[in-house]
Amino acid sequence: MSVDFSTLKDAPRLLMEAELKPVQGDRFQPTGFADLGPARYQLPDGTEMLLIESAQSVANRLEAVCWEDTVGQLVRELDGLPIIVVKRQDGKPLTNSLLEAHRINSPYILEGKDQRVFDLLKRDVAGMEEGPVDIKLLAKTVFKYDANAVLHGVFLAKSELAGGRLRLPRLLSGFIEARNVRLVESGGVKNDRVNPSGDTKQGFGNVPFHRTEFTAEKITAYFNLDLALLRGYGLGDDGTSLLIALALFKIRRFLHTGLRLRTACDLEAAEGITVTRPNGFAIPEERNLTETLQAKIAACRKERLFADSSITEVIWEPRAKTTVKNKKGDVAEVSDEDGEE
């Protein structure tokens, strides 16, 4: 049965959370940063907190649950959703706008010899070179080629596209944090049974290492869907409902299948998803969200909100580099586009 989202029509945000726990034992490994290590912080009352997964990482994981690696395509529940696929020159798949870190702004989509998508975008946003950016038109343009990019945000930084000012912020964001954490210090040794005293710089010898994990009183995943911003894009009832259903589908699927964050951080949802705002709304079951997605994908295609083909293909071929001399005689490299006469 298709889901009716009319109860959300006046809500500015849809806020959700889910309690998590390790699938085995109590220890877990948080995300780490090269110059920071684990992201620890304190609340004003002194409570020790820990960021387990950042907003950027959760966005990537929410996108990953929509892709079926074994067959190299969107999961069947999202069949017909528009996406940009990048292929090698031999026709084999290379990457796509769902998996790329910058989505449509991926260099594999916009920086190669094949300028198909760049030309489509430039045509569709014509007139924004000066003056304020028409956010509604931008949202409709991105939605046309990759609805996922509207949900997770995109920044088209190329100067040739409205001076590099085309930006859509995230509609859906999330993060995972732990409360009242305690350190678990351990370690081990990489053993070399052939030559324990070998040169460790070359990878030989026994190498002891230190390991830091954590326990926590509580682990919570938080999700925020900006409904006010979504309505402001003017995508119509079907486009708006499609993105709400897609966001909730991603969250459901992530909590069910995507919580093995790292080797030593395998979590599961302790209970269901709780809606903290607005009151009275419950997250539909995945099967109902799937039915809604399929109905709204068909409706958006009928209304011509999508590109004619659900898959826009780009062939990846790097632009050739040409060496030129400037007025001082220094040699510089430019692309064939910049240096072509």
- Say whether pLDDT at 339 is over 90: no
In this predicted model, what pLDDT tens digit does every residue of 212-256 receive, in sequence order? 889 999 999 999 999 999 999 999 999 999 999 999 999 999 999
* The predicted structure's pLDDT at residue 193: 86
| Domains contained in the chain, number | 1
Distance CA 338, CA 341 (A): 9
Quick check: is 223 in a domain?
yes
Quick check: is 333 in a domain?
no
In this predicted model, what pLDDT tens digit does every residue of 28-55 receive, in sequence order? 998 888 778 889 999 999 999 999 999 9
In this predicted model, what pLDDT tens digit does every residue of 10-34 receive, in sequence order? 999 999 999 999 999 999 998 888 7
Quick check: is 336 in a domain?
no
* The predicted structure's pLDDT at residue 247: 97
Quick check: is 204 in a domain?
yes
Residue range(s) defining the domain that contains residue 65: 6-326
Provide the strand spans (E) within the chain. Answer: 13-22, 32-33, 37-42, 48-53, 67-68, 73-74, 83-87, 93-96, 154-156, 166-168, 172-190, 207-226, 260-262, 265-269, 274-277, 311-315, 321-325, 331-335
* The predicted structure's pLDDT at residue 217: 96
- Say whether pLDDT at 330 is over 70: no
Query: Which carries the bigger pLDDT value, residue 105 or residue 190?
Result: 105
Quick check: is 252 in a domain?
yes
Mean pLDDT of 282-287: 93
Contact status, residue 31 vs residue 51, Cβ threshold 8 Å: yes
Contact status, residue 39 vs residue 175, Cβ threshold 8 Å: no
Contact status, residue 263 vs residue 250, Cβ threshold 8 Å: no
Residue whose pair of structure tokens reads 């959300």 in the numeric block: 8
Quick check: is 277 in a domain?
yes
Contact status, residue 297 vs residue 66, Cβ threshold 8 Å: no
Quick check: is 49 in a domain?
yes
Distance CA 217, CA 184 (A): 14
Quick check: is 337 in a domain?
no
Distance CA 290, CA 144 (A): 20
* The predicted structure's pLDDT at residue 225: 98
